[in-house]
Structure 1
Amino acid sequence: MNLRSLHQSFWTPTQRSMRSWALAAVVVNAGITVTGAAVRLTGSGLGCPTWPRCTPDSFIPVAHPEISPINTAIEFGNRMLTFLVLAVAVACFLAALRLTPRRPALVRLAVLQPLGVLTQGLWGGLVVRSALNPVTVSVHFLISIGMIAAAFALYARSGEADNPPQRLVHRDIRTLGFVLVGAVLTLLVAGVVVTGTGPHSGDEAASRFAFDIETVARIHADLVWVAVGLTIALAFALHVTNAPGLARRAALTLFLVELAQGVIGYVQYFLAVPAFLVGLHVLGSTLVWIATLRVVFLMRDRGALVGAGPVFAHAESR
C-alpha cells in the first residue's frame, strides 16, 4: 500500500477499509499490551525515570550513570510505540467520521480509541512517577484490556449493519456467554494481582503487593478452571442446539487458546516464573480476551453489510 492509498483508506473510506482500520486497532492495542509487559520483565520499567521526559533534562534517551542504556532503550522504544497506537486510533476515528453514509454507532466506538490512548499515556506517566507502584501498573494493564474490547467492538460493528440485534442462540446460552466474559475479566484482574505480587516488578526500586504469592496464585488457578468450565459448557450448549457453525468454532477456538494458556501458566509456575514464559502468558491473556469477545459477538446478528468483507459473516449455513 502506497501513501496515497493509505491516506484514502481513512480520508475517503469504504466499508472494507473502515473494518481494516478497526482490525489494526485490535492488533496494535494487543501488541503494546505485550510490549509493555516486556518492559517490566526486562527490568526496564524505570529505564526512563521521568515523564513526560525520558530523563530530567531530555525527552530522548541520554547517558545516565545509574541506568543501563539497554533498559533506557527498551522503555523509550515502548513509549514510541504509543505514537503508532495513536496514529491507528486517529485513523479509525477519521474513517468512522468520514464514512458515507455516516454511522453514529461507529463514530461513538471509534472516538474511544484516541481518548483511550490519551488516557493510557497520562496513566503511564503516573506509573513512572509512582515508581511502578503495583496498583498503577495493574490499572495500566486493565486499561489496555478495555482498549482491546473497544477496538474489537468497533471491528465487529463495522462488519455488520445497524439493524436491531437478533439472537442466533437461545437466550440462556447468550446469558452464559455474558457470564463467561465476566469470568474471564475477573481472571485477568486476578492475574494482575499475581503479577503485582510476584518477582517481576520492572525495577529493583518498585514495591510489591503484600500478598502471599502461593495464595494469590492458587486463587488465580481456581478462576482459570471456572473460565474453562464455562467455556466447555458454552461449547457443548452451542453444539447440542445446532447453533451457527461460526459460533461453535469460535467457542472451540477459545477453549484451545485457554488450554495453551493454562499449560504456559502451570509450566511458568513450576519453573519459578521465568521472564520469557511470563511474557508468553501475557500474550496468551490478550488472546483469551479477544477470543472470548469474539464468541459473544458471534451469538447475535445485526444483518449483513455489503462491502465489509466476509470475515464476520453471520449468515453462514449451519
Structure 2
Amino acid sequence: MAEPTGPANTIDDVKLPTAHPHPLVRALFSFWAPTRKSMRGWALASVVVNAGIAVTGAGVRVTGSGLGCPTWPRCTPDSFIPVAHPETSMLNMLVEFGNRLLTFLVLAVGVACVLAAMRMAPRRTSLVRLAWLQPAGILAQALWGGLVVNTMLNPFTVGMHFLISIGLIAACWALYARSGEGDGPARRVTHRDIRRLGHVLLASVFALLVVGVGVSGTGPHSGDERASRFDLDIEAVARLHADLVYVVVGLTFALLFALHVTNSSPRAARRAALALLGVELAQGVIGYTQYFLAVPAALVLLHVLGSTLVWIAALRVVTSLRTRAQVPAPSPTEAPAAV
C-alpha cells in the first residue's frame, strides 16, 4: 500500500463559497458568513422583492389575469402548472402563474435574512425577530392569496392582499434600519415635535394607501370580468383620496421646512424628507393623468409602483429621525462564569 504523500486536508483547507473569488458568488452566499454590511444588503433585497411582488400583483389585475389560475394551490383543478383550460386563456394563466412563482423568490430572500441574522456574531436578538417576520408573513400572504382566488377576487380580499404586502415592506425596512444601528434605546436626533410630525405623516400615508385600495376596489381593472366591486360612488372615493393626498403633501412640506430651519437636524433626515416630497409630486402627476385619461392600465401599474415608493420613502423619513447606539460588549470580568 502506498504511503500518503502529504498531510491530510483539514477543515481550514476547504474553500467555502463565502471565500469564492467571484464577487457574485460571495454575495449570494454572504448569509452564511454575514457581516453588518451583508446583513443590510439582504434586508434591502427583501424590501425590493416585496415591493416588486406588490407591483407585479397589480400587473396581474390590470391584465385581467386575476383568475388566470382559477384554483389554489393548483393552477387548474388537476394541475399545479398552467395547462389548457376551456374558460381561461393561456396568456392569463401564465401571467398569474408567474406571479405565484415570484413568491418563492421572495421567500428565498426572507430565509436568507433569517439565516444571516442567526449566524451573525454576536447574534442580535432584535434582528432575528425582525427577520423571522418575513417568512412568516410571506406564508400568510400566500395563504391569503388562496382566499383571494376562492372568493373570486372580492375587492376586500384583493385590497387586503396589497395591504399585507405594505406591512411586510415595513417589517423589511425595519430590519434594514436596525441592522445599521445598535441595540441601545432609541434616541431622537431632532426636536421631539418634529419626530411626532414624522409619525403623523407616516400614519397619513398609510391612510392614503387604505383609501387608495378603496378606489381600486370601486373602479375598473378588477382582475376578471367575474369579479365583484365595492358598491361606492367612485367620484366621492376618488375625491377623498385626492384630499388625503393634499394632507400628506402638506405634512411632508411642513416636516421638510421644520427640518431645514432646525440647525440640529441631521442631513440624512432632510434628504429623506426631500426625497419623499419628490416621490409624492411624481405620484400626483401620475394620479391626475390617469384620472383624466379614464384610468389606462399602464398608468394604474405605475400608480401602484408610486404608492409603494411613497410608503418606503415615508418609512425612511421616520427611521431617519432617530438612532440607536451600539451596546458595548461585556468585559471579561463582567462575563458570566462558565458552568
Q: TM-score range by the shorter chain?
A: over 0.9
Q: Which residue does the alignment assign to 1:295?
A: 317
Shift of 1:5: 2.3
Return the letter of the residue paired with 1:24: A
Change (3 A) 1:3 1:252: closer
* Aligned counterparts of 2:154 and 2:237: Cα–Cα separation in 1: 18
* Aligned counterparts of 1:176 and 1:59: Cα–Cα separation in 2: 49
Q: Which residue does the alignment assign to 1:100?
A: 121
Q: 1:115 aligns with which of 136, 145, 154?
A: 136
Secondary structure at 1:209's aligned position in 2? coil
Q: Which residue does the alignment assign to 2:288?
A: 266
Between stretches 180-189 and 158-167, larger displacement belongs to 158-167
Return the letter of the residue paired with 1:190: V
Secondary structure at 2:212's aligned position in 1? helix
* Aligned counterparts of 2:53 and 2:323: Cα–Cα separation in 1: 31
* Aligned counterparts of 2:67 and 2:217: Cα–Cα separation in 1: 16
Q: Which residue does the alignment assign to 1:59?
A: 80
Q: 1:86 aligns with which of 94, 100, 107?
A: 107
1:205 aligns with 2:226: yes
Shift of 1:35: 0.2
Q: Which residue does the alignment assign to 1:309?
A: none
1:75 aligns with 2:96: yes
Shift of 1:166: 1.3
Q: Deviations over 1:62-104 (max 9, x none)?
A: 0011111110000000000000000000000111011110000
* Aligned counterparts of 1:203 and 1:192: Cα–Cα separation in 2: 17
Q: Which residue does the alignment assign to 1:151?
A: 172
* Aligned counterparts of 1:26 and 1:150: Cα–Cα separation in 2: 9
Return the letter of the residue paired with 1:174: R
Contact 2:183–2:326 (8 Å) recurs in 1: no
Q: Which residue does the alignment assign to 2:203?
A: 182
* Aligned counterparts of 2:43 and 2:98: Cα–Cα separation in 1: 24
How many residues align? The count is 305
* Aligned counterparts of 2:29 and 2:57: Cα–Cα separation in 1: 31
1:125 aligns with 2:146: yes
Contact 2:159–2:214 (8 Å) recurs in 1: yes
Change (3 A) 1:185 1:95: same
Q: 2:279 aligns with which of 250, 254, 257?
A: 257
1:165 aligns with 2:178: no
1:47 aligns with 2:47: no
Between stretches 102-111 and 3-12, larger displacement belongs to 3-12
* Aligned counterparts of 1:138 and 1:2: Cα–Cα separation in 2: 40
* Aligned counterparts of 2:25 and 2:257: Cα–Cα separation in 1: 48
* Unmatched 5+ stretches in structure 2: 1-21, 328-339
* Aligned counterparts of 1:18 and 1:246: Cα–Cα separation in 2: 21
Secondary structure at 2:30's aligned position in 1? helix
Q: Which residue does the alignment assign to 2:252?
A: 231
* Aligned counterparts of 1:2 and 1:119: Cα–Cα separation in 2: 34
Change (3 A) 1:208 1:91: same
Q: Deviations over 1:250-292 (max 9, x none)?
A: 1011001000000100000010000000000000000000000
Q: Deviations over 1:132-190 (max 9, x none)?
A: 00000000000000000000000000011112121111000000000000000000000
Q: Which residue does the alignment assign to 1:286?
A: 308
Secondary structure at 1:202's aligned position in 2? coil
* Aligned counterparts of 1:292 and 1:204: Cα–Cα separation in 2: 35
* Aligned counterparts of 1:108 and 1:33: Cα–Cα separation in 2: 23
* Aligned counterparts of 1:235 and 1:212: Cα–Cα separation in 2: 35
CA RMSD in angstroms, aligned pairs only: 1.2
Secondary structure at 1:137's aligned position in 2? helix
